[in-house]
Amino acid sequence: MFNLTPTVRNLLIANVVFFLAQTNFLPLLTQVGSLYPIGSPYFYPWQFFTYMFLHASWGHIISNMFGLISFGPLLEQRWGAARFLTFWMICGVGAGVLYEGVRGYEMHKMEQAREEFHHSPTGPEFSNFFHSYFPEATGYETLAEALQRNPQNQEYINSATAAVDGVVTEVRDSPQGGMLGASGALFGILFAFAYLFPNTELMLLFFPFPIKAKYFVFLYAAYELYNGVHRTPGDNVAHFAHLGGLLIGFLVLKFWERGRERFY
């Protein structure tokens, strides 16, 4: 069904091998190889590279590898093995770097919100903090209402302050807080495919009709942007890493395009 090119096949094998290792033989790979926020005790510089070879579940790796074997071979045939692998790695690492920037900005905002609550520990501020930074949490509403009714109660203030501090620590230092998956690199591949073969019609499982590659990638990017900005409780998808892969893919292609005799 799929005409796998050498680099695509090797990337497929590497991802499957690492996934089997992390889920069956070396579970520590997930902790030391996932990409954690800079400043977390679990962060290591090599994670910008290793995170893209690890996955959270069979569904996660199957969806990413299906995209790789669907769109990768045509690009490798056009570019050659070395350039295709270079593109894959740059998009993956670049997506991780950009996502760390977004996550660093979000952590900075959270730290500021914590400091503001420390200076003004009120019930509404306590509720707003959880709503903004830990919306999947439950049970905090009772303490927020109690603090609003009794704003000078030191026991309520201490409990609320400890809860806010706990959220910041959990988000920053949790061993489950690492990002993993080849999605950033894959989104670079999707963009490159749409850029080089924009009018290729795709028949996708979730579309009842053929759609041109350029429209598919545009709609997918819009979907990722919306979900990244309007994050819903329990959504653990790194939407901005996906968008980062798209952006890095665009920048790399434009840079390569300057040497058009080598690019085409």
Is residue 215 scored above 90 in pLDDT?
no
Q: Is 231 left (phi over 0), alpha (psi -120 to 50) or beta?
A: beta
Average predicted confidence (pLDDT) for the chain = 83
Highest averaged pLDDT of the listed ranges 15-19, 165-169, 223-227: 15-19
pTM (whole model) above 0.85:
no
Phi/psi-derived region of residue 203, left when phi > 0, alpha when psi is between -120 and 50, beta in every other case = beta
Selection from 192, 231, 208 nearest residue 70 by Cα: 192
Q: What is the pLDDT of residues 63-100, one digit of tens each?
A: 889 889 988 999 999 999 999 999 999 999 999 998 88
Mean pLDDT for 124-144 is 82
Identify the weakest region by mean pLDDT among 37-41, 114-118, 230-234: 230-234
Architecture of domain 6-104+179-263: Up-down Bundle (1.20)
pLDDT at 225: 65
The pLDDT assigned to 189 comes to 92
For 244-262, the pLDDT digits (tens) are 788 888 899 988 887 665 5
Listed ranges 144-158, 199-213, 219-233; the one with the highest mean pLDDT: 144-158
Please determine, for residue 16, whether its predicted confidence score (pLDDT) is greater than 90: yes
- Report which of 225, 189, 195 is spatially closest to residue 89, judged by C-alpha positions: 189
Structure-block tokens of residue 262: 């080598």
Q: What are phi and psi of 40, to 5 degrees?
A: -75, 145
- Give domain limits for the chain: 6-104+179-263, 110-172
pLDDT over threshold 90, residue 47: yes
Phi/psi for 202 (5° steps) reads: -110, 140
